[in-house]
């Protein structure tokens, strides 16, 4: 199943609808011929997970306060984050943080406060 999912994942990267439709039809034929149609729902579920994972890898900028949007954007761009979408995250305290794939830049005060708290304890 992993191999089928991986294959479709690669096909999806081409972003050509005709190619991906063709790949899906061929996969269905292949599964039918092997009597493994039950796997189709599992493959779909796996692909959804992959899509969610991909989504989480996209660049995202979060600010604690809406007024800081512009400042956060310019600072995040300077750090190499190429996105214009900024989300307000009420769980943050002062400043902003941005994440892209496996990179995190945290310019908020929340983590510093937690560090102080644990050190003081």
Partner 1 sequence: MKSIIERIEEEISTWAPKEGAEEVGSVRATGDGIAEIDGLTNAVMSEMVLFDATFDRPLEEALKDTDPLYGLVLNLEEDGVRAVVLGDASRVYEGMLVRRIGRLLSIPVGEALIGRVVNPLGEPVDGKGPIATTENRAIEHEAYGVIDRAPVNEPLHTGIKAIDAMIPIGRGQRELIIGDRGTGKTTVAIDTILNQKSEPESSRPICIYVAIGQKESKTAKLVAELTEKGAMEYSIIVTAPASAPAAMLFLAPFAGASIGEYFMEQGRDALVVYDDLSKQAVAYRQMSLLLRRPPGREAYPGDIFYLHSRLLERAAKLSKEKGGGSLTALPIIETQENDVSAYIPTNVISITDGQIFLEADLFNKGQRPAINVGISVSRVGSSAQTKAMKGVSGKIKLELAQFRELEAFMQFSSDLDADTKKQIDAGRRMTEVLKQKNGEPLAFEMESAVIFAAINGYFNDVEPEEASLAEEKLRNYLSREGVDVLSCIQKTKSIDEEIENKLRKVLDAFHLVAP
Rank residues 34 and 117 by Cβ distance to partner 1 and give the closer one: 117
Rank residues 31 and 94 by Cβ distance to partner 1 and give the closer one: 94
Q: Which residues contact 91 (CB under 8 A, 6 or more apart)?
A: 110
Residue 96: strand pairing partners: 63
Q: Per this entry, what is the length of the chain?
A: 121
With contacts defined by CB under 8 A, how many residues of the chain interact with partner 1?
A: 28
Minimum distance between the CB of residue 18 and partner 1, rounded to whole angstroms?
Answer: 27
Contact flag: residue 67 with partner 1 (CB under 8 A): no
- Residues 55, 57, 60, 63: what is their CA dihedral angle, to the nearest 10 degrees? 110
Q: Which stretch binds partner 1 (CB under 8 A): 26-34, 36-44, 51-59, 65-73?
A: 51-59
x/- string (CB under 8 A) for partner 1, residues 75-114?
----x----------xx-x-x---x-xxxxxxxxxxxxxx
State which of residues 38, 53, 66, 67 lies at the interface with partner 1 (CB under 8 A): 53
Rank residues 17 and 104 by Cβ distance to partner 1 and give the closer one: 104
Q: Which residues contact 92 (CB under 8 A, 6 or more apart)?
A: 62, 63, 64, 108, 110
């Amino acid at each position: 199943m992993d191999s089928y999912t991986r294959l479709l994942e690669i096909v999806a990267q081409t972003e050509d609808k005709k190619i991906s439709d063709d790949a899906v039809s061929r996969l269905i034929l292949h599964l039918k011929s092997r009597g493994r149609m039950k796997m189709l729902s599992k493959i779909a579920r796996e692909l959804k997970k992959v899509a969610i994972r991909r989504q989480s890898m996209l660049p995202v900028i979060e600010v604690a306060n809406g007024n800081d949007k512009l400042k956060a954007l310019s600072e995040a761009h300077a750090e190499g984050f190429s996105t214009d979408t900024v989300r307000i995250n009420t769980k943050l305290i002062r400043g902003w943080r941005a994440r892209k794939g496996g990179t995190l830049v945290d310019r908020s005060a929340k983590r510093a406060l937690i560090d102080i708290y644990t050190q003081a304890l």
